[in-house]
Each structure stands twice: as structure tokens, then as C-alpha cells.
Structure 1
Amino acid sequence: MGISTRQYQDIMNEYDAVRRRNYMAEQERKERIYALIPEIRRIDEEIAHVSVAKAKEMLLKKISNADAKKSLQSTIYDLSMEKVNLLAIHDYPADYLDPIYDCPECKDTGYIGDKKCHCFQQKIREILYRQSNIEDSAGNECFSAFRTDYYSSQRSGRERLSPRENIENVLSVSRSFIECFDSRPGQNLFIYGNAGVGKTFLSNCIAGELLSRGKGVIYLTAYQFFDQLADYTFRRGTDNAQTLPAFLHCDLLIIDDLGTELNNSFINSQLFLCINERILNKKSTIISTNLSLEQINRS
């Protein structure tokens, strides 16, 4: 999924706006300096004149390209140093008239060659985090903050594993889910257990890690999920008509705290349709619930 075509175009429009803003700032600086130091205007005009003259000489074969390039570079260097000295005399930095960029690496284009610049990747991550619904918790709820010592190391009753051994297995499965996300598309997780054992925290850990890798993740509580499904189905709001496709096609959908909603036949059918569509499209889903497997089977 990543970002949509519209979101991509919005990013490119941002870059256009940045370039226009910086160009206007450059022109304001140039006019200010020209008014204060007229000699710099003359130098810029001379640089332009020399560049055109050398280009004509090369076109007319009056001078070899190598000689013309060497001569032009020498002339421009001398004139540029003269500009730098004039700026310094008036307490301006040497790069005051240089092009202005928010990102010098891609020159505010978003691309270095045919590769997205790190600033473009950051914009993508910001969009993905905003639409994920975990933006507020992403910084705190991560694997590095997951404490297994919260869980008892003592086994109880007929349990084969202690709570700590169990959560260590769960973490191992979760990390494998992340590492194999691209190589095994469409894998799913069903996380169940009593309230307070860390299901939501774990879901957010997985979501945060995948978001940092540029995957499209949407997190919703079961209540939010079914409420928006109903809005879409019954067309109660025009904005919500665009929500269902996001559920269906995001790289990872997390439905948290699934519970007694399953007693409703409409909800059961809508949940099935959504999950089935995602399976067909090889999109991953995580569902967490306080219900036991036996209770789920009875629903």
C-alpha cells in the first residue's frame, strides 16, 4: 500500500512550494545585495557574459571543449572570489547568495537520481504514522520497551509454559512476523488473552516497527472498526465512503479488543467479508481479543 497517488502528489506539491519559497528568498537577497553593493551585480553580469561567450566559441569550434571549460572555470573562480571578498567587507557570509535549499542533498526535489531522498522517505513515514492511529503511542510502545520481567516465571496448574516463557515465544513469533512481512505476504496473527497482559502494547510494537519500514498500517479498536464499517455500508457519511478501501488494502490492519460485537450477525458477516478480501489480496491482519478460542468458536 505505502501512500496513495494523491498523497504522493501532495508531497510533490510541497516540494514545489518549498522551491518557490526559497527562490523568492534568493531573489530578495540578491536585490538587497545589488542595491548595497552594485559591484556584485556587475560581477554576476560578467559571469553570465563570459559563460555565453565560451559556449559560442565551443559551438563555432574556435576553441576545444577542454580548453574552453578550463578557461571558463578559471574566470568564474576569480570573479566568485571577488564576490566573496566584497560580501565579507560588508559582513555577509560567503554563501549568502548561494541557492537556498531545505534539503541540500536532493535540492528540494525529493529525489537523488532515481532514488527517493531521505527527506521524501521521512514525509512518507509521517503520512503513514498519521493515518495509522498509533501516532501518539508509537514512541513509547516499542519492542525495546517491552519488559518480559513483568511476567511470572512460575508455571501454574497444568500449564506447559510459564507466563514469561509464553510471552517470550509470542515475541519471537511477532518478530518473525515482521522479518518475513515481505517474503511471506498475507500472514496473519490472532492474539488472545486476559485483559492487561499486553495485547495492545504488542500490536503497537509490531505496527511501529512496520511503519518505520514504510509499510501502511491502520490500527482501530473493534468499536471503531465496526462503527466505520457500518457508516460505509449504510452511507451515513460521504467521507466514510473512502474508509473501507483503506481497510482492505493497507499492508497491515490491526483490529484491537474484539469482543462481544461478534454476537451480532451483521458484524460477523462484515468482519468475514473484510478479512476474506484482505486474504485474497495477500494483506496481513492482526486481531486481538480478550475472548478465549472456545468463546470465539461459539460466537
Structure 2
Amino acid sequence: MGPRRDPATPKASARGRAAGAKVVEALIDKVAGRYRALVVLGAGTGMRQGECFGLTIDRIDFLRRTLRVDRQLVLVPSQPAFLAPPKTSASHRTIPLPRVVVEEPAEHVRQFPITHPDGLVFTDDDGRALRRTAFSLLVWRPLVAGVGAPHGTGFHDLRHYFASLLIRHGESVKTVQTRLEHATAAETLDTYSHRWPDSDDRTREAVDQVLGPTTDRKERSGAEPDDLRSALGRAEVVDGVDELLARDGLGMCPGPPGNLRPDHRTWTDAKQRS
């Protein structure tokens, strides 16, 4: 008989197993055209499958690059699919869309015009709402097998991928909590604490940056104009996530980040200040 698991230790499935960047890139490259934007949306926003399935065209603001989540698609056996409020009250949110993500739904609706009476963005070949079981059997499982992804890789692993991407690039617990609409920061830490850098490593890095050799300090802190865009991407998660996604293989984002709101720093202003 094996050792008993400490009840305080989350099960492996609850600790945010994330699909790797190469797996996500392979999924996007291989998925059928009708579902490409769906996979990009899951990986680039952390939205749940039901929220993605229930996305309607009126919830996307292509100009401001935002997406409003206030509904999800609910499926009941032997009944038509219908829209209902999301999982929790914290799930009501407005998501900032990176450029690489917002371009995919725009291209999707151009190729596959909206025909569903509720305005659903993603439907099957017959224009009907996606059903979880059929999508899994006919689309997702063959896709996962086709790219050689680990057995059991699910759509929800795209959400974990998004979380791990933010953590890997220095976002705070509060930011990750907000993006994943967790009710509390404790929920975020319970799921993803194993992905944050070790405090010992942070201590070493902090001291090295200040007291290390002069050449090392200059390399770490002296951002040249060509590196400024990367620095700004770390400072603003809204304009930064598209950079991070691009670097992780979800697409290319040529050109500087846009000025989404008046309080955002524009590329031109940043260049002038440098």
C-alpha cells in the first residue's frame, strides 16, 4: 500500500498542468481552420471552454481590443444549448486582447460569417452551437494525438498555459488572479504557487543586479532604444501579453504596441523620452 497523500496537498490535476509552448504552437498550426481562432483565444486569454463556446460577436470590441465575458454556453442532454451567466460572479470581466489574439477572431468571422441566431462566433460546420462531447471526439482528441501532445491534454490546459506564461514573465499574483477571474488570491496560489520563481533565486538575482560587476549591471539595467519595446511590454500586461504570446510561438506581432487608453504609454512617447 503506497503512502497516503497529505490532504493539504492539491492533486496533480488541480495544480495547473500547462501545455508547453511547443505543444500550443503545434495545436494552432494543425487545427482545422474553423477552430484555429478558438484555440488561440483559449491560449491567449485563459478563457474557459464554455466561455469560448458562448462568445458572441457583440462581446468583442475590435477597436479597443477588449472582450467582455458575462455568459457561457450551457449544454444539457437532449436540450438545445443556451447562454447563461458564467461560473462565478468573479468570472464577469473585461479581458484586454493582445494583438495576436484579436486578429484571429477578426479573420475567423471573415472566413466564417456569423449565422447563429444568438451571434455565436464559434459553431460547427452546420452553424450550430458547439457541443463539448462532439468537439472533444471529432476535433480536440484527434488534434492532440496528431501533434503528439501528452495523453489527456485538454482544452483547459490552454488556460494553465496562459497562467504559466504570465507567471514566467513576472506578473504578480494579483494580476494572474484578475486574468483568471479567481475569487481570491489564495485560489490562484493554491493552483499555481509551484510555478512562481523560488524566493532564494529572487534574492540572489536582486543582490547580483545591484552589487554585481559593473558590466553585468549595465547589461541588466541599461536598456537601449531597441530594447525599449521589450521593457514596456514587461511593464504593461495589456500591451505586453501579445509580445509574450508572440515570443512563445503563437504568432508574430510586427510594429509597436498600440495606444489603447489615454493612460497607456505610446511607443512614440517612449522613444521621445529615451
Q: For the pair shown, which has the larger CA radius of gyration, 1 or 2?
A: 1
Greater relative CO (CA pairs within 8 A, separation 6+): 2
Query: By percentage of residues, which structure has more helix?
Result: 1
Q: Under a length normalisation based on structure 2, what TM-score does the superposition of the two structures give?
A: 0.22
**TM-score computed with the length of structure 1 as normaliser:** 0.21
